Amino acid sequence: MNPLNLRRKFNRFRTLFTGRGRGHRPVLDTPSPSSSAPSPSSVDPSSRDIQSAASPPSMDPSTIKEKCGRFRILIIGRANAGKTTILQRVCNTRENPEIYNSAGEKVGIMILVRGEHDIENEMVFRSNPRFVFHDSRGFEAGGQSEFNTVKAFIADRSKRTSLKDRLHVIWYCIPMNEACRSFTEGEIKFFSHCDTGSIPVIVLFTKFDALHTIEFAQLKRDGASRKDAKELAPKRAEESFANGSQLKFLYNPNDIGRPPKCHVCLPSKPLNYRFMIYDDS
């Protein structure tokens, strides 16, 4: 599909589900499309625009809203991966989510931190109840037990009869502000052995502006002015990451048995998000 059409479908779907009109600022902004879209053969797979996993090309977003009602997301990530910030931006709020158990009873308000919790609990923001989130704290926190819990949850939710009760997408958050910036054993295990069936997995590389800082310093060392370095650093970081070892590893079937559907790079600061997407469809 034409990249311009992909962007339009994604934006229409997001607007319908969040209930925002023209007076609201989008949470996930994309750069303005160019007047002419490149041919498919000229598009680098590592930098394609996003094709919403929840919005197949053959189905209109308004139809999805009518049939689905609520969009259910499992968000997985290690401690301090920026999960709270992502959910708040998606739902255009600063409040903490309300928590409901499997019986639909409110059990409190929670900040997403490491600790005991139930993956079956639903996290819902009062300002945007169309999104339902389930949280997994990351496999380094619970080891094999947490991994088994996530596998069972995915298997169960993929078989639910009602569309609104099914799991629609999995967001796997990996922060980019850590010194090694490598995949943990738990992350490799998930992408190698966790069968998600038809449920798409999208990797969210969070705190991506940490790479902007590195590129800014390199540009300064190369003689760029502070103004030019600040302007060029984000794009340079995207290009370096797109051609780096991490993505090659993540999408290499010889290394990873079950690679994600695509990935998105998200900065910590509320800048216009630029999508760096690999779509294997």
- Separation between Cα atoms, residue 263 and residue 7, nearest integer Å: 15
Strands 128-136, 71-77: pairing kind = parallel
Is the confidence at residue 81, as pLDDT, over 70? yes
For residue 162, what is the DSSP state? Answer: S
- Separation between Cα atoms, residue 222 and residue 220, nearest integer Å: 5
How many whole angstroms from its chain centre is CA 71? 14
pTM of the model: 0.72
- Separation between Cα atoms, residue 71 and residue 68, nearest integer Å: 7
Higher-confidence position of 218 and 23: 218
All structural domains of the chain with their residue ranges? 3-31+38-207+259-265
Closest CA to 241 of 201, 199, 208: 208
Strands 128-136, 122-125: pairing kind = antiparallel
Please tell me which of 31-40, 115-124, 165-174 the model is most confident about, judged by mean pLDDT.
Answer: 165-174
Q: Which CATH architecture has domain 3-31+38-207+259-265?
A: 3-Layer(aba) Sandwich (3.40)
Is the confidence at residue 3, as pLDDT, over 50? no
* Residue-wise pLDDT tens digits, 8-65: 544 554 454 444 433 333 333 333 333 343 443 333 433 333 333 344 455 676 777 6
Confidence of residue 143 (pLDDT cuts 50, 70, 90): confident
Is the confidence at residue 84, as pLDDT, over 90? no
